[in-house]
Structure formats: C-alpha cells, structure tokens
Amino acid sequence: MTEHAVVIAGGGPTGLMLAGELALSRVDVAIVERRASQELAGSRAGGLHSRTIEVLDQRGIADRFLAQGQVAQVAQFAMTPLDISDFPTRHNYGLALWQDRIERIFAAWVDELAVPIYRGREVLGFAQDDTGIDVELTDGRPLRAKYLVGCDGGRSLIRKKAGIDFPGWDPSTTYLIAEVEMTGEPAWGIRRDDKGIHGLGKLEGGKRVRVVSTEPHVRQGDEPTVDDLREALIAVYGTDYGVHSVTWLSRFTDTTRQAASYRDRRVLLAGDAAHVHAPAGGQGLNIGVQDAVNLGWKLAQVVKGTSPERVLDTYQTERHPIAARVLKTTMAITALNRGDDRMTALRETMSDLLKMDEPRKRYAAMMSGLDIRYDLGAGHPLLGRRMPDLDLVTESGPRRAFTLLHDARAVLINLGEPDALDIAPWTDRVRRVDARYAGVWELPVLGAVVAPTAVLIRPDGYVAWVGDGTDQGLGDALITWFGPPNHG
Ligand SMILES: Cc1cc2nc3c(=O)[nH]c(=O)nc-3n(C[C@H](O)[C@H](O)[C@H](O)COP(=O)(O)OP(=O)(O)OC[C@H]3O[C@@H](n4cnc5c(N)ncnc54)[C@H](O)[C@@H]3O)c2cc1C
C-alpha cells in the first residue's frame, strides 16, 4: 500500500499547480496522470492573463513562462480589445504561450519539488472512510490518501464517482479545431456568421493552417473525422480548400456547467473538473490554476492539523462565484460572437461601451482576473483583494511584496512601529516582516486607497486583515485563516 497525504487525479495545469503548492507547504502529495508523458495533443489554451502571471510571480516562477512566450495585450471581450497597460500591476499585459509549453514548465517545477507523478495510469474509483480514502488505479497499485483532489478535466471521473451534480447548459454549437495543410489559398483571418466565429491562421509561416470552425449541426463525440472537417469548411467557406495532412483534429463545444459542490468529504474538485465553458476569452486554464492556489494552502493546513476542516469550506465559498461569473461571461461572449445583423448591432453597441474608460477598466480587470475580491466582510478596500506587488524596504533590504510569498507562507507586513504587532503564537505559520513603503497604494479599477499600517497576506496573495494603527481584529483573522494560537 502506497500512502500519500494528498493524491491528485490529473496532471494538467490545475493538478500540477496544486501539487506545487502542496509541496511548497511540505505536504506529501502525488499525482496520478493518464498520459504517459506531458505531451499534449493539439494546442488548446493560448496563454495567461495578468492575475495568473502575478500568481506565478508570487512563487518566483513567472520568469520561466515569460521567457518562453510573447507578452501582449490579450484581454478582450467579444473581440473588443481591453488594454490593461495603464493598470497598477507589474504585469500589465498577458502572455501568449501555448498550453503544451505551459504544462511543460509546470511539470519541470513540480519535478524540482520532488512530487511523484504516477504516469500512464488512471484513477478508476475510490472509497472514503473516516480516516482516509482508498484510490483505485488501472495498474492495480493500492493507493491511500487523506484527501483526493479531482483535477481530471471536464469529464472528471472523480466528480462523477463522488456523485456531485454538474448542472448547466448543453452545447448550442460545436466547433472543430485542427492543424492541417491546404492545397487552395485559404481566406486567412477571422470570419463571422450566424453560427459564430471561425478562423484560419498561419502555422509554420503559412505552410500549415490552424482551423477553428463551427459545425453545421451540434455533434457529440471526441473523435471527429476529416470528412466532418470538410463538411464544416464547406458550410462556412463554400470550399474545403483541398484540406489534407491533418495532424490534429478535435471537437470542442460551448457546453457550460459547474459542479454544484466543490467538495464531498475527502474529495475536492478543481479546474475543468469543477467548471466547463466555451474557450471564449481564454479563461479556463487561468481560473483552474487560480483554484489550485486558493485550495493548496488551505488543504495543506488541514492535512497538517493546524486548521480545522472548515477552512476547506471557504474554497467553495470563494472560488464557486468566480467560475460562475466566468460561465456567465463566456455565454455572453458566445452569443455576441454570432453574426446575424441584430447580434452584430448588439456587439457593436457593447464594443462602443467598452471603449469608454470606466467600462473598459471594469471588464479588463474582470477578464484579466485582477478585480477578484473574496468576501471577507466589510472594511478597507484591500480586504479580500490581491496584495499589490509593492517595492518595500525591509530590515534585510529592498524586497518586492511578492517575493515574501515565494515559499507559500502567510506574511504579516507591519508598516507601522517596528515590533508593534505581536503574533508570537502564530509564528510557526505566519511570518512577520517590518517594512517601510512611502508610495501610493493603488488597486486596479478602484485607484488609490488609504495606506494601511499593516496587512496580513494569505499564501495565495489575498489580504486577510488590514491594520489601521491598532491590532483590532488581527487575532480573529489569524484564527480564522491559520488556526488557533500555539502557546507551546
Ligand atoms: C480550443 C481550446 C482553447 C482554449 N483556450 C484557452 C485559453 O486561451 N486560455 C485558457 O485559460 N483556457 C483555454 N482553454 C481551456 C483550457 O485548455 C482548460 O481550461 C485547461 O486545460 C484546464 O486544465 P485542467 O488541469 O483543469 O484540466 P485538463 O487540462 O483537462 O487536465 C486534466 C488531466 O487529467 C488527466 N486525467 C483525466 N482523467 C483521469 C483519470 N481518471 N486518472 C488520471 N488522470 C486523468 C488528463 O490526462 C489530463 O492531463 C481552451 C480549451 C480549448 C479546448
């Protein structure tokens, strides 16, 4: 019997990020991954939004991604570009980088953190009891864990076996995506019709073509044929351009569903296992990675016994509304992408609105994930929002705020009198840093906010408590997020 504290089913972007988070918190974690290697058929996600880059920066690994991709203004809403270059973040842009590269970088990081990945085998089922969970694998190896996290994608077996409902909307449109060669000269670029949006893009300088096209009818099944592709091209372009040498062909849909619950006792869901939607707006991979960062430190504390299980409930409370919003947004974009005259008029009206400064800022912050606010109650605008990456001056010299989060530990930044805030009973879980910062505190969309005298930052980079010159509420916040005081 092999035992781990946490077993993650699925080593896609979400599972890899979660494994890294748990390993940083020194939790014994392993991944079970169906694929024999990290190789990915086709291109899938095309990049990262600003908040995801920030989250990676909080762990000191953003540069690995930035070095391989192309920085660009990637945020948009129904094809209206949303520029974030004036946003108060170090990463006021997105990153164009294909998912196979993203996954390889994550896999290398997880490897450095010595997380075992059982590749080329699948989770087949599991049985929960009071003390743990037996996980059944295709190779028959007995595996036991305290928790099992389903990061096994949209068709999640973990979700189904846990009996968790997945309510939502069936597909209204199915799309084919392919990498091919064509004998004829394709009509490059984007085309819109009453079914939706289609595109023919150059690969390898135009020798090969990346096709995205709707199908004339909603079709089910994972394995579309080249004849299906020909039919789809003819329906949209009136010709199949003599398509041949198809190296990748896949179907995706605008199916939109969200798990009714993100947890059933010792089983948790994250990423596509918890929510699926159309790829419009490039959100899925991004929110999956951010699910993992929200869950990782909470699960680590529960596994180690420093926090009661109820902290896991906040994973659903905080992340379910974020995905629900993405579902709504992607449904709106999918509708707007249909090109009949009335929808075109609506899209152009929406586009006019989004060019105005305030709507542009709001939607840009939403699409790039910079506006997230977890409901931690009323108070200072920083409460529940992302900590800005300030240039601080600490006792050990200049430090960026994000650098203080590299080890995925909570930090109390004390900007008032040195030694003012006593958190001795929590120093095994929370680090206190005395620092100075003379600049403006500026948040995306909100602008400048009143400078706090201290901030308690959770390992995921969200602010759990804001000081106003006193320590009022600090003890409660420490107990809520990091467990009871340790007087031993
Ligand atoms: C055409 C297209 C374009 C997209 N573009 C974007 C974009 O631009 N931006 C964006 O953010 N998102 C985009 N997405 C969405 C993105 O690809 C997904 O949201 C992302 O892959 C989800 O990551 P995940 O780790 O949760 O799930 P997955 O990537 O699906 O990973 C699940 C993993 O679990 C493994 N697995 C499954 N079942 C089992 C089992 N029983 N046992 C063991 N292993 C198992 C699988 O092999 C896989 O490796 C796009 C998707 C598509 C289809």
Q: Does residue 118 sit in helix, strand or coil?
A: strand
Mean pLDDT of 373-396: 97
What pLDDT digit, counting tens, does each position of 240-278 carry? 999 999 999 999 999 999 999 999 999 999 999 999 999
Domain contains 372 = no
Residues 231 and 268 in one domain: no
Q: Which of 194, 219, 253 is the last residue of a domain?
A: 253
Share of the chain above pLDDT 90, in %: 92
Q: Going by DSSP bridges, is the β-strand pair 267-269/143-150 parallel, antiparallel, or unpaired?
A: parallel
pLDDT at 205 (0 to 100): 79
Instruction: Tell me whether residue 386 is in a domain.
Output: no
* Same structural domain, 465 and 400: yes
* Dihedral (Cα; 17, 21, 24, 27), 10-degree rounding: -110
380 inside domain:
no
Work out the average pLDDT over 71-94: 97
Asked if residue 248 and residue 218 are part of one domain, the reply reads yes
Identify the pLDDT of residue 286.
98
Predicted confidence at residue 420, as pLDDT, reads: 84
Instruction: Write down the pLDDT at residue 188.
Output: 95
**Can you give the pLDDT at residue 223?**
87
Q: Is the pLDDT of residue 112 over 80?
A: yes
Same domain assignment for residues 163 and 71: yes
Number of neighbouring beta carbons within 10 Å of residue 256: 21
User: Closest Cα partner for 413 from 377, 444, 388, 440?
Assistant: 388
Residues 265 and 323 grouped into a single domain: yes
Ligand 1 neighbours (beta carbon < 6 A): 9-15, 32-35, 44-47, 99, 122-123, 151-153, 157, 177, 252, 271-272, 279, 282-286, 288
Cα(47)–Cα(99) distance, rounded to whole angstroms? Answer: 7
Select from 234, 253, 272 the last residue of a domain.
Answer: 253
What pLDDT shows up at residue 192?
87
Structure confidence by residue, pLDDT tens digits, 205-234: 778 999 999 999 998 877 899 999 999 999
Same domain, 158 and 42: yes
Mean residue pLDDT of the chain comes to 96
Confirm if 48 and 338 have CB atoms less than 8 A apart.
Answer: no
184 shares its domain with 303: no
In a domain, 417, yes or no: yes
- Furthest CA-CA distance within the chain: 76
**Predicted confidence (pLDDT) per residue in 355-364, tens digit:** 999 999 999 9
Ligand 1 atom 47 nearest Cα: 34
Threshold 0.95, pTM exceeds: yes
Residue 12 has pLDDT above 80, yes or no: yes
Query: Do 44 and 182 belong to one domain?
Result: no
- The domain spanning residue 442 has which CATH number? 3.40.30.120
- 248 and 265 assigned to the same domain: no
Query: What are the pLDDT digits (tens) for 148-190?
Result: 999 999 999 999 999 999 999 999 999 999 999 999 899 999 9
Pick from 5, 11, 1: nearest CA to 32: 11
Name the residue with the closest Cα to ligand 1, atom 20.
285
Q: Which two tokens stand for residue 346?
A: 């609506």
- For a pocket test of ligand 1, which of 7, 8, 39, 99 has the largest count of ligand atoms closer than 8 A to its C-beta? 99
Tell me, in angstroms, the distance from the centre of ligand 1 to residue 32's CA: 15
Which are the contacts of 162, defined by CB distance < 8 A and separation ≥ 6? 150, 264, 267, 269
Question: Is the domain of 121 the same as that of 239?
Answer: no
Q: Of 207, 229, 253, at which residue does a domain stop?
A: 253
Structural domains of the chain, count: 3
The boundaries of the domain holding residue 160 are 2-167+257-367
For a pocket test of ligand 1, which of 152, 155, 175, 213 has the largest count of ligand atoms closer than 8 A to its C-beta?
Answer: 152
* CA of 154, closest atom in ligand 1: 30
- CATH number of the domain within which 223 lies: 3.30.70.2450
Mean pLDDT of 396-421: 95
pLDDT at 475 over 90: yes
Q: Say whether both 104 and 7 belong to one domain.
A: yes
Question: Beta strands 2-9 and 143-150: pairing type?
Answer: parallel
Q: What is the pLDDT of residue 2?
A: 93
Instruction: Please count the CA atoms within 13 angstroms of the CA of 355 that sit on its side-chain side.
Output: 7
Q: What is the pLDDT of residue 196?
A: 87
Using the atom order of ligand 1, give the atom closest to the CA of residue 122.
42
Kindly state whether residue 376 falls inside one of the protein's structural domains.
Answer: no
Residue nearest to atom 49 of ligand 1 (CA): 12
pLDDT computed for residue 339 by the predictor:
80
In this prediction, residue 9 has a pLDDT band, given cuts at 50, 70 and 90, of very high
**pLDDT tens across 57-76, in order?**
999 999 999 999 999 999 99
The answer to whether position 488 is within a domain reads: no
Confidence of residue 474 (pLDDT cuts 50, 70, 90): very high
Task: Please tell me whether residues 32 and 115 are part of one structural domain.
Answer: yes
| pLDDT value of residue 226 | 96
Give the gyration radius of the chain's Cα atoms.
23
CB 209 within 8 A of CB 240: no
Q: Which two tokens stand for residue 263?
A: 């947890």
What are the tens digits of pLDDT across the range 422-472? 999 999 999 999 999 999 999 999 999 999 999 999 999 999 999 999 999
412 falls within a domain: yes
Is 220 part of any domain?
yes
Please say if the pLDDT value at position 316 is more than 80.
yes
CATH of the domain at 280: 3.50.50.60
Mean pLDDT of 92-97: 97
